[in-house]
Structure 1
Amino acid sequence: MAYKAPVRDLTFILNDVLDIDRYANHPGFADVSSDLVGQILEEGAKFAEEVIAPLNRIGDLEGCKWDDGKVTGPTGWKEGYQQMVAAGWPALSALPEHGGQGMPSVVAMAFGTMTAAASPAFSMYPGLTAGAYWGLNANGSDELKAKYLPKMATGEWGGTMNLTEPQCGTDLGLIRTKAVPNDDGSYNITGQKIWISSGEHDFTDNIIHLVLARIEGAPAGIKGISLFVVPKVFVNDDGSLGERNVGAACGGLEHKMGIHGNATCVMDYDNARGWLVGTENKGMAAMFVMMNEARLGTGLQGLSIGTAAYQAAVEFARERLQGRSLTGPKSPELPADSIMVHPDVRRMLLEARAFVEGGQAFTLWTALQADLQHSDDEAEAQKASDYMGLVTPVLKAYLTDKGFHVASLGMQVHGGSGYTEHFPASQYLRDARITMIYEGANGIQALDLVGRKLPSKGGRAIMSWFADIDAFVSENDGDTPIKPFITGLADVKKKLQDGTMWLMQNGMANPDNAGAASTDYLHIFGLTALAYMWAQMARAAQARIDAGDTDPFYVTKLQTGRYFVERILPDAEAHLVKMKTGAEVLMDMPAEAF
């Protein structure tokens, strides 16, 4: 199966739905036109299809190899990565002062959907570097930024984020890695970090680790955590590479269910020299810049794996001959019809497609909010910032849940063939599973949504979200062909509002109620977000049809959206009923009875 980048879908969202040309006067958009973005995506698609995608299977079969602290990537991966750097792709959205191209986040996210689908494990190497780049840019001193960011911006050097330790994951207040100050302003970092993606490899000459540690004498818990930059190789004042930072070493690789091509490392720090990033004991605030970047990237990854899995399932369904149509043979000249004639196969494919295409719109809409945070219009910037905080846990959790679901549907369409390694369905399923866990497990995302994001600033973000949807419904609620989309959006928004009020009334009285309801609430939110996206896509597609455009792309878009409205959106009612049962049925059973 050959992956095909969905350039047409992405340009439709960018041009017809989001209308990016109208942001020409916004920071970062001055030199960005829809024509230029189209050219970027066409070239990006070629790179994803021709360079990255062929490496995906190799990475799954070979994995990475560890030998006395050194890690070698799968065959061809180093060369593929260096081709990416030479072509300038890692620098797409990096700042011009660091050698980047300064493209808006929405353009970089569109490109990222293609690379993550072509090979999720490969795309993690530049993805982790980008997260470290933005984290250091937001919090580092001018000296640190000048030393490290230009080579990180281009991808010539890699980057990582080091949070998790053997005894703690989500609860980072338990970390034990310590930092001892030296007379020259540096620190000696000692401790062990685990599950460090891209922690060691042979693709770049240097890897810049951003490491959470506790300075001796710092307060207990997260209030005493600081962030440090710990390079694999020291950088001289003139920018050249110096000696190896011998105290920072890869102690081994994890043997994982999927994403075999990415080096998931145990990192051992034994008096490794590092430098403080930002302010002492403010490391968590600094790390959240990277974590939010990573959470959006993980949501994109889950969606993108689903995209590739859907494409593989469609290809298989068209070619697989089995049985006859329930309404009579559709290919009488053949011994059997293709399984595309069977309603249940079409159910699985349409469900996958509806999630994938709705998720693409949600991803790019969110990336646009990241750009609008820098608007010169204070109100617009505030709203965009509010939305980024509100929807990040939804995008991460909902799209990874559904990305795995789509990969599972893809395997089911393949039947027994999908359970073998002769077809790609198995790899997609295995690769997708981690996205629901790392960068904050999806249950944690749901708790973050109901516990932190909803009440933030007195609920300003969710109230604004409701108001925007109401305005859209009011504007488009006429007797038009897209009426079902508008009615569906209005209905699911009411359910989300109902769920929000229930949480306000019952979550404060008993926090377990909020915890018990959180995942179902997040799924109602995800359904509402996709309903909003599908309504906007339906309006744009119908406008094209009304203008006389006969391209079948727009009819197909509306047909896919109808499936979402009629067969997926009703799930919101079940989630609402479940969340309103509260915590009693979950918490009454004593632990020993499980």
Structure 2
Amino acid sequence: MATTYFSKRNLQFLLHEVFKAEELTKYEYFSAHDRETFNLVLDSATYIADTLMHPYLKDVDKNQPELTNGQVTVHPKIKEYLKAMGDAGLIGAGFSFEHGGQQLPEMLSSCVGFILMAANNGMMYTGLTSGAAHLITSFGSPELNELYVPNLLAGTWQGTMALTEPQAGSSLSDVTTSATPLPDSQPGMAAYQIKGQKVFISAGDHDATENIIHLMLARIDGAPKGTKGISLFIVPKYRPDEQGRFVDNDVISTGVYHKMGQKGVPAMHLTMGSNDNTIGYLVGEPHQGLPYMFQMMNEARIGVGMTATGIATAAYYAALEYARERPQSRRLNNKNQLDAPQTPIINHPDVRRMLLFQKAVTEGSLSLLLEAARLYDISEVAEGEEKENAFLLLDLLMPVAKSYPSEMGVQSVSQSLQTFGGYGYTEDFPVEQLYRDIRITPIYEGTTGIQAQDLLGRKMTMKGGKAPQLLFAEMSKLIAEASTFDELKPYADQLGAELKRVQEVMMSLLPHAQEGNIERYLSDATLFLELFGIVVVAWQWLKQAVVAKQTLVTRNPQGDDLIFYEGKIHTMKFYFHYEVPKTLGLAVRLKDTEVLTIVSEKELAL
């Protein structure tokens, strides 16, 4: 197993040099912190990752959850991990002091998630708990907060998001789980009888915690049809009775899915109300379940992006270590010198290309996600125009921040596996597992197709296109800054040309939307998301290169630091020369008038 699974140096560079995380402490909410406390949090997460997670990567994968006699058992290390995370205050790190948290920025919480998922994404439990608890603190009554949040943040209870149903999939307007009001509810605990089924519920049942708390979407009797009639409920595995004891709540684990990857996390099929004895507690107002969920979705999508980036980063460092150690053949110009020793494969141009691709994808993704997390923080704590602009930019970038790391992360891990050759396909090295693990991330929290429709269908045009205008203004500022360095000016010019290309594509597509032909407008939305993502990550790479170049010019770094900063500029150049040109073909297709995917009267065989 690779000894390195992420770069502390790169994380520090992005957090402190590129995004200047400590500047967030000027806001009152984050004022208790400084650079030192930020680094202590990262050290704490790294210790847990090093001791309780990474050593058990393969073991957790091989000993997957099993459902026996209604009880799900998981790897015993998971219980230790959850306790350690709770004791360290990392599950609730971003929560307010009032709710038992540390009031840390999302930037730091995201970095913690990145470290943990790079170490062992088969222990993907605490992010789910944090998300569930955040819904309660945001919309729940004081009584619900008091009963559920402390145990969730302590890691003694597990939280889940229970949205998906067998017949509905991603179409939440078709949710049928029912909620019937019950008389004599306690104050702040409006009780409903719940009946229905949920599927693919990650960490939906297991023996590593004392209780499982589902944040569940259901439809109150008589509610309006569609998404406007969906409400949000707390549905615990064990509920409190009138004496305060916890009793079975008739939430039955009907089945556990055996998955391609992420095998350490049970994905459950749950049945509620088989004995007409499942009780749920309304969170917030009736019929507001979907808006509540969507308010939390930005956090969740940053989390998925970080999971993908963590997995791909671990695979990259495994491939890098192997390429440095594995001798094979001679360099191409010395092919006939058979008496010369073999050279490490890292010296072969095609292997370097694969490694540079992985570095470009993983470090570009991490930069984008920290940009999104910073905007999230500002949108939460700033005021007025600064708050509004941060939220608009975040909203626009979110489909890319979720989809680019996951889609390109799959390709990156594939190249990691390829670097190993035949060995990569075996269980002797971790990349075959990581390849299986990462494949779910383009599906989690809205598939790539859903993200694409969100980007092109809503985000590019909302408020008269104000969000892309803000983004292009940010990019233009960076282009001007980069143009002051002779080495970076060609890349600044190239990014400027890419902005124009995006605008040209939009101008060719918008008439379809204006005519009301939404199906035609969105038919190639996924290709638009891909094009837009390439350009957004190019922006992130140029941003990193500017900081690296400024440091080289002003500080004259030596040794490993010199190699690090020069490596940043070299990887930026690779991204612009190898990845950015892909926008040419995407733009040609997006502007093409030939339609081949929309169902017509003359149905063609597929």
Q: Specify the TM-score bucket, using the shorter chain as the normaliser.
A: over 0.9
* Matching residue's letter, 1:275: Y
Deviation at 1:237, TM superposition (A): 8.5
1:402–1:98 CA distance, 2 compared to 1 (3 A): same
- Matched residue SS, 2:246: strand
- CA 147–305 in structure 1, closer or farther in 2 if over 3 Å, else same: same
Aligned equivalents of 1:21, 1:145: Cα separation in 2: 30
Q: Output the CA distance in 2 between the equivalents of 1:43 and 1:332.
A: 51
Pairwise CA distance, 1:331: 11
Alignment partner, residue 254 of structure 2: 251
Q: Give the conservation status (yes or no) of the 8 Å contact 2:168–2:175.
A: yes
Q: Is the 8 A contact 1:198 1:262 kept in 2?
A: yes
Could you tell me how far apart the structure 2 residues matched to 1:479 and 1:76 are? 51
Q: For 1:115-158, what per-residue CA distance to the aligned partner results, in whole angstroms no more than 9, with x for missing partners?
A: 01111121x21011111112222221222122212222333321
Alignment check: 8 A CA contact 1:91 1:155 kept: no
Cα offset, 1:351, TM superposition:
0.5
CA distance in 2, matches of 1:433, 1:524: 21
In structure 2, the residue matched to 1:220 is 225
Match of residue 207 from structure 1: 212
Q: Are 2:525 and 1:540 equivalent residues in the alignment?
A: no
Distance 1:560 1:69, change over 3 A: same
Question: What is the CA deviation profile of residues 534-565 of structure 1, one whole-angstrom value per residue up to 9, with x for unaligned ones?
Answer: 11111111111112122221111111111111
| SS of structure 1 residue aligned to 2:484 | coil
Does 2:321 align with 1:309? no
TM-aligned CA deviation for residue 282 of structure 1: 1.5
Q: Structure 2 matches for 1:118-517, cutoff 5 A?
A: 118-122=119-123, 124-185=124-185, 186-235=191-240, 242-270=245-273, 271=276, 272-328=278-334, 335-509=341-515, 510-517=517-524
Secondary structure of the 2:286 match is coil
**Matches of 2:528 and 2:582, distance apart in 1:** 12
Partner of 1:70: 71
* Per-residue Cα deviation, 1:14-73 (whole angstroms, up to 9, x for no partner): 111112233332143312222332232233223212321112211111111111221111
Q: Is the 8 A contact 2:61 2:263 kept in 1?
A: yes
Moved more, 47-56 or 277-286: 47-56
The answer on whether the counterparts of 1:517 and 1:580 sit within 8 Å (CA) in structure 2 is no
Q: Secondary structure at the match of 2:287?
A: coil
Amino acid at match of 1:252: G
Structure 1 residue aligned with 2:188: none
Structure 1 gap ranges (5+): none
2:531 pairs, out of 509, 524, 527, with: 524
Q: For residue 409 of structure 1, report the CA deviation from its aligned partner.
A: 0.6
In 1: Cα distance, 2:481 partner to 2:195 partner: 59
- The 8 Å contact of residues 223 and 281 in structure 1, kept in 2 or not, is answered as yes
Q: What is the alpha-carbon distance in structure 2 between the residues aligned to residue 400 and residue 49 of structure 1? A: 24
| Structure 1 residue aligned with 2:581 | 570
> How far is 1:289 from its partner?
2.7
Q: Deviations over 1:165-186 (max 9, x none)?
A: 1111111111121111110231
1:56 aligns with 2:61: no
Separation of aligned partners in 2, 1:349 and 1:178 = 51
What are the Cα deviations for residues 439-466 of structure 1, in whole angstroms up to 9, with x where unaligned?
Answer: 1111111011111222222221111111
SS in structure 2 of the partner of residue 586 of structure 1? coil
Tell me the amino acid that sits aligned with residue 349 of structure 1.
Answer: L
* Separation of aligned partners in 1, 2:269 and 2:25: 45
Does the Cα contact within 8 Å between 2:86 and 2:153 map onto a contact in 1? no
Task: Report the Cα distance in structure 1 between the residues aligned to 2:350 and 2:12, rounded to whole angstroms.
Answer: 31
1:325–1:22 Cα change, 3 Å: same
The one-letter amino acid paired with 1:542 is: K
User: Larger deviation: 2-11 or 102-111?
Assistant: 2-11
The answer to whether structure 1 residue 559 and structure 2 residue 562 are counterparts is: no
Contact 1:233 1:242 in 2 (8 A): no
Tell me, in whole angstroms, the C-alpha distance in 1 between the residues paired with 2:226 and 2:33: 45
CA contact (8 A) 1:104 1:371 kept: yes
Gaps of 5+ in 2: 186-190
Q: Which amino acid aligns with 1:77?
A: I
> Is the contact between residue 29 and residue 381 of structure 2 (CA under 8 Å) also seen in structure 1?
no
SS of equivalent to 2:380: coil
The AA in structure 1 aligned to 2:235 is V
Aligned-residue identity in percent: 36
Q: Give the match for residue 91 of structure 1.
A: 92
C-alpha RMSD of matched pairs (Å) = 2.0
Instruction: Point out the more displaced range, 488-497 or 156-165.
Output: 488-497
Find the residue that maps to 1:373 and give its secondary structure.
helix
8 Å Cα contact 1:329-1:337 kept in structure 2: no
AA in 2 matched with 1:230: V
Q: How many residues align?
A: 591
Structure 2 residue 585 is matched with structure 1 residue 585: no
Equivalent-residue separation in structure 2 for 1:583 and 1:213 (angstroms):
42
Misfit runs of 4+, over 6 Å: 329-334
- Say if 1:374 and 1:2 are closer, same or farther in 2 by CA, change over 3 A: same
Question: What is the alpha-carbon distance in structure 2 between the residues aligned to residue 354 and residue 309 of structure 1?
Answer: 13
Q: Deviations over 1:259-280 (max 9, x none)?
A: 0000100111013111111111
Question: d(CA) in 1 for partners of 2:337 and 2:308?
Answer: 36
Q: Deviations over 1:381-427 (max 9, x none)?
A: 11111122111111111110011111111111111111112211111
Q: Give the secondary-structure state (helix, strand or coil) at the position aligned to 1:434.
A: coil
For structure 1, which segment, 252-261 or 581-590, has the greater mean C-alpha deviation from structure 2 after superposition?
581-590
CA distance in 2, matches of 1:402, 1:557: 19
The answer (yes or no) to whether the contact 1:197–1:263 under 8 Å persists in 2 is yes
Q: CA deviation at 1:588?
A: 6.2
Quick check: 1:98–1:153 contact (8 Å CA) kept in 2?
A: no
Separation in structure 2 between the aligned mates of residue 237 and residue 389 of structure 1, nearest angstrom: 44
CA distance, structure 1, for counterparts of residue 144 and residue 594 of structure 2: 48
Please identify, of 449-458 and 328-337, the stretch whose mean Cα deviation from structure 2 is larger.
Answer: 328-337
Q: Give the structure 1 partner of residue 557 of structure 2.
A: 549
Whether the 8 Å contact between 2:365 and 2:404 is mirrored in structure 1 is no
CA distance 1:573–1:145, shift in 2 (3 Å): same
Equivalent residues of 1:534, 1:561 under 8 A apart = yes
Alignment pair present for 1:32 and 2:33: yes
Matches within 5 A, 1:15-30: 15-30=16-31
Alignment partner of 2:597: what SS? helix
**Could you tell me how far 1:103 is from its partner in structure 2?**
0.6
Distance 1:591 1:559, change over 3 A: same
- Aligned residue type for 1:92: A
